[in-house]
Structure 1
Amino acid sequence: MDIVLETDQLGKRYGRAWALRDCSLRLPAGRVAALVGPNGAGKSTLLHLAVGLLRPDAGAVRVFGQAPYDNIAVLSDIGFVAQDTPLYRDFTAGELFTMGAKLNQRFDLAMAHHRLTQIGIPRDKAVGKLSGGQRAQVALALAMAKRPRLLLLDEPVASIDPLARREFLQALIGVVAETGTTVLLSSHLLADLERTCDYLIVLHTSQVRLTGGVDALIAGHRQLVGPRHGDRPPSGVAHVVRATHTDRQSTLLVRTDGPIHDPAWTAHDVTLEDIILAYLGDGDTQSGRTHAAWGAPA
């Protein structure tokens, strides 16, 4: 399996505070991956390290097997849409495409113009006068016209309306289907990610909490509802991700390593959003009386 992006104990520090620490992950080629985490988890820092805008203070980051910092050979294969899609607002889309063609040897000018024609965005209007959704589409067209092997997107649709967001994601899926580009998409919008992505990376407190293919992760997690007794989950549970207790009942979101046969417990399917929120939570919550926690690694 080809690995496009790999980090090994990667860390970045601002002053005395670590924005990213002990971050280890591997992103397989051909995936559309969601990068999820709360504000301050290190998502933007990870993307900036991957695209060579920052140097690591610990560990290593490799893109296509090489360090990206000051590496023209690697950077030419990376497309990047930064948070808030920063563009030269006085330039028209056509002028931005002309600049892109002069700065990138493989820039596909015809593809960039075709993308905007398909979605009805004018090429002769200053991008500062376009809507937020239109600017996001221009930024995506610029990034994809590089013909990148890896596309990094940092919250590209966070500030645009639902219709524009849907159009952007549809365009992204269409372009990826045509080119086979690997995508790493950072976003807080979990419902959008569930419709778009087939791979998941969860960052929390500057570290990786979970990675894997979406289908496999959903198949490997269950919500269990059963009686409140003892401190051990039933057989078939690898570990408890999150537990909620009342005096009589426990509700567990678990990662499984086999079937759940205990008749005292009822198993329910979970969504990707359920899994993400569980891994971003504090693990154990209780209502009513205080009980012993379900001690299990995350």
Structure 2
Amino acid sequence: MTAVLRADGLTKRYGRHPGLVEANLDIPAGRVVGLVGPNGAGKSTLLGLTSGLIEPTSGTIEVLGSRPAANGSQLARVGFVAQDTPVYAGLSVGDHLRLGARLNKRWDEQLARRRITQVGLDPSQKAGRLSGGQRAQLALTIAAAKRPELLIFDEPVAALDPLARRQFLQHLMEFVSELEVTVILSSHLLSDLERVCDHLVLLASARVQLAGEVDDLLSVHYRIVGSRDDVANLPPGFDVISAEHRSRQSTLVVRRTGTAPLPQSFAGAERLDLEEMVLAYMTRATDPSGASSHHSPALETLR
């Protein structure tokens, strides 16, 4: 399957500060990718590298089969909406559409006008007078009307109220269906991502902690409860992601890395939801001492 984004040892440093370290990624076409991680994890750095706004320090990255921003044709295939969904406050909604048509050879005027009408934007209204949700809808429409093959969003809904977030994500998924576009969506709001994303990239401490198809990842992660002795004798083939110990029992989040069955001594193994899995990895990355001695330093990618 064709990769929309492929990275091999991708590294970006800002002086001595690591922005992203040795990232290996292979993201197939047609996915809605949730990019998650705490502040400073490297999300904006990865998106900047993907869009060609910044250059890597070392390693390689290919987007749609070529170097990011290699030429005008490659740029036309990528739509990017930065944080706070920036628009030009002094220009009207209609001015934005006319500017989009002038700057983008593949501009779909019919799609742009239809979507502006659908979300109730007045073409004569200045962008500076739009609400946060309306600005987000305008930015989304402009990015989609480029008819890109890849849409990139850097925290587009962080400042929106729940209704505006829901409407934005609903229209985003309509674009995904209509344009058959791949989306990379960075967000702290895991509940929103759980509704729309089928692929996950988790960053923490400037490194990729976990990546792959959401269903595949969830299928190998469990919450299990057992005695502290059971924890000490956990068989090979299980990576302990996080552990909470009490006087008589321990609760673990584990990842099955082999074919061994779950030990019978552990009661009530439960599958995790996306938020629980992500938080377990973020905790492990930021506080390695909080995980069990079974913590494996190898952080694999599921494809």
| TM, length-normalised to structure 2 | 0.92
Shift of 1:284: 5.3
Q: What are the residue-to-residue correspondences of 1:8-87 with 2, within 5 Å?
A: 8-87=8-87
Within a 5 Å distance, the mapping from 1:239-278 to structure 2 comes to 239-256=239-256, 257-258=258-259, 259-278=261-280
What is the distance in 1 between the residues matched to 2:161 and 2:36? 20
Q: Please, which runs of 5 or more residues in structure 1 have no aligned partner?
A: 287-292
Q: Does the CA-based 8 Å contact 1:108-1:147 persist in structure 2?
A: yes
Q: How does 1:103-122 map to 2 (within 5 A)?
A: 103-122=103-122
Give the letter for the 2:29 counterpart: A
Displacement of 1:2: 1.0
Aligned counterpart, 2:199 = 199
Cα deviation for residue 268 of structure 1 reads 1.1
Contact (CA 8 Å) 1:231, 1:294: kept in 2 or not? no
Tell me the SS of whatever aligns to 1:140.
helix
Question: How many angstroms does 1:238 deviate by?
Answer: 2.6
Distance 1:65 1:36 in 2: 24
Match of 1:184 in 2: 184
Q: Post-superposition shift, 1:92? A: 1.0
Aligned-pair CA distance for 1:16? 1.7
Amino acid across the alignment from 1:8 = D
The answer on whether the counterparts of 2:34 and 2:186 sit within 8 Å (CA) in structure 1 is yes
Aligned length, in residue pairs: 292
The answer for unaligned runs of 5 or more in structure 2 is none
Contact 1:234 1:260 in 2 (8 A): no
Structure 1 outlier segments of 4+, above 2 Å = 230-238, 263-266, 282-286, 293-296
Residue 128 (str. 1) matches residue 128 (str. 2): yes
Are residues 180 and 105 of structure 1, via their aligned partners in 2, closer, same or farther at CA, if it must alter by over 3 Å? same
Cα offset for 1:262? 1.3
Q: CA RMSD in A?
A: 1.6
1:67-92 per-position Cα deviation (integer Å, ceiling 9, x unaligned)? 11342221110000100111111111
Aligned residue for 1:296?
295
Cα distance per residue 1:224-259 (max 9 Å; x no partner)? 011111654544743111111112111111112343
Letter in structure 2 aligned against 1:277 = L
Tell me whether 1:140 sits opposite 2:140 in the alignment: yes
Give the whole-Å Cα distance in 2 for the aligned partners of 1:104 and 1:147.
Answer: 9
Give, as a single letter, the amino acid of the residue that structure 1 aligns with 2:269. Answer: A
Q: Letter of the aligned partner of 2:293 in structure 1?
A: W
